[in-house]
Amino acid sequence: MTDFDFDVLVIGSGAAGLSAALAARQAGAERVLVAEGEGIIGGSSRLSGGLMMGAATRYQKAQGIEDSPEALFHDYMTLNQWKVEAGVVERLTQRAGLAVEWLGDLGVEFYDQLVFGGDETLPRVHCPIGRGQAVVDVLYRHCREEGVEFALGQRVDRLLVADGAVCGIAVGADEITAGSVVIATGGFGADAQKRKELFPSVFDTGWSYYIGADGSRGDALDFTRDVDAQVTGFNRGLRLLHTDFDKMYEAYIPGWLILVNHEGRRFCNETAPYGIMDGLLHEQGDSAFAIFDHKALVDATELGVARYKQSIPGSTKKQSPHWNLDIIEMMLKEGKVQKRDSLGELADAIGVPAANLEATVDRVNELVALQEDQDYLKDPKFLEPIASGPFYAVEVRPATCCFTACGLRTNRDAEVLDEAGRVIPGLFAAGEVAGGIIGPRYVGSGNSYGNCVTMGRVAGQSAAAHAH
């Protein structure tokens, strides 16, 4: 191995890349380099909430939560109807809890309270104090202490290949050789053209925008073409509901709103987790309307606290950035909100059948009186009457691109596979850049970050073993 400049070379310094670099060192790789295209460490991982799924952790046990990797695997696969790489997901679910504990051992602190990421039966999402940035900081510190080298502002544009094996990277004319290369370059959300080609369901909403890091341009999908890498997971990623008021994301809508489709009918529990909501909106043509009356809006504004289904530890209780009187009045002037004295007029304004909207609202008011959502099972504490005008309608679309999930196909050891399904020697990938792991249904908060750290570790260990 002495012929190489480095044993292991990692491209990208997000949670996946840092985990891979540290794990490679811990597994015995002596010379490890992280090449980062931007001038700052951390990618989308540092902007992230950093919530991580993991089963059977000491944190769960401390709260009396009995969980198992097998239960997580079952939930993951059932929710995704097995439309994911089962072998990789098994590895992920087996090791996700261990990865959370590994971070804990390194110094990441988690809130005692665990939360539900999606539709699971028990809480298995771990919330780091200081969010994703804190995780990045701890991993980076340990990498430095272990002697991992970093090269910032180095946007890799080529892989070096010798005798069919990947043996380094290049940035323009600069070449660096290595026994193994780990690709951890994140997603492609920042590249609108790639969103259009590979994640059209978010692009085609017409309001599509991305909330992750600027460096997520999908470079790896371009520079791995030379080695014939296989790409999988077309049209996958996470879409959040968006009002088109501004570019500020709001992961959940407050529970006091109801949603109706273009037929004027309710179709869901409005507090559904965002992974589920994404798919529900898809069934409705990726567009729906939030409906409410003036009193509900005023009450929500005066309360001063957004009424989400779940509050994440550490997140301060605050007003919804969109669903308050000031913003709604402002957006009314911009034509992004419809306000009418009667429901019939409101229905006409948004082009839904008036009889349906009126019947839907009658039914909601019945459910309010019953204090039970017999139709979609929303917690009764969120049920609010829609009783007296003026009435409002706001269109929502799943247009916020949180992250992307179409990427390189890997096996359970994080080795990248070629078009034929063969391992490309010397090439590994983990995190958002890997496809086939995040499925058609986002399992919930913590699915992506958990994947990045867990499979980043796996990639680092595999890369170190290959380099020896």
Residue 91 vs residues 69, 194, 298, 456: alpha-carbon distances, Å:
10, 29, 49, 12
User: What is the C-alpha to C-alpha distance for residues 11 and 212, in angstroms, rounded to an integer?
Assistant: 18
- Which residue's CB is nearer to ligand FAD, number 393 or number 433? 433
To the nearest whole angstrom, how small is the minimum distance from the Cβ of residue 183 to ligand FAD?
9
Decide: is 49 part of the binding site for ligand FAD (CB under 6 A). yes
Task: Work out how close the CB of 127 gets to ligand FAD at its nearest, in angstroms, rounded to a whole number.
Answer: 8
Distances from the Cα of 167 to the Cαs of 23, 180, 379, in angstroms? 19, 6, 56
Crossing angle between the packed helical segments 294-303 and 325-333, to the nearest 10 degrees: 130
Q: Does 439 bind ligand FAD (CB under 6 A)?
A: no
Tell me which of 55, 402, 416, 467 binds ligand FAD, using CB under 6 A. 402
Find the shortest distance in angstroms from Cβ 302 to ligand FAD: 29
* Min dist. Cβ of residue 345 to ligand FAD (A): 38
Bridge-based pairing state of the strands 391-404 and 338-340: antiparallel
User: Looking at beta carbons only, is 338 or 447 nearer to ligand FAD?
Assistant: 447
Per the structure block, which two tokens stand in for 327?
Answer: 């913003």
CA distance to 171, 176, 341, 461, per residue, from 164 (Å): 20, 17, 70, 22
* 442 is a site residue for ligand FAD (CB under 6 A): no
Q: How far is the CB of 147 from ligand FAD (least distance, A)?
A: 20
Closest CA to 410 of 434, 439, 376, 377: 434
Query: Which positions from 137 through 166 interact with ligand FAD, judged by CB under 6 A?
Result: 155-156
What does DSSP assign to residue 226? G
Would you state the structure tokens that stand for residue 450, as one six-digit string? 């958990």
Site residue total, ligand FAD (CB under 6 A): 43
Q: How far is the CB of 443 from ligand FAD (least distance, A)?
A: 9
Minimum CB separation of residue 263 from ligand FAD in Å reads 33
Distance CA 253, CA 413 (A): 38
Q: Does 211 bind ligand FAD (CB under 6 A)?
A: yes
Residue in this structure with the two tokens 């540290």, named with its chain if needed: 22
Indicate which single residue of 16, 280, 327, 417 sits in contact with ligand FAD (rule: CB under 6 A): 16
Q: In the complex with ligand FAD, which residue's Cβ is closer, 21 or 300? A: 21
Q: Tell whether residue 338 is a contact of ligand FAD (CB under 6 A).
A: no
Query: Which of 403, 417, 424, 459 is close enough to bind ligand FAD by CB under 6 A?
Result: 403
Q: Which stretch binds ligand FAD (CB under 6 A): 36-44, 81-89, 137-145, 407-415?
A: 36-44
CA distances (Å), origin 114, targets 59, 64, 127, 310, 456: 8, 11, 7, 11, 23
Q: Which range binds ligand FAD by CB under 6 A, 12-20, 62-70, 364-372, 390-398?
A: 12-20
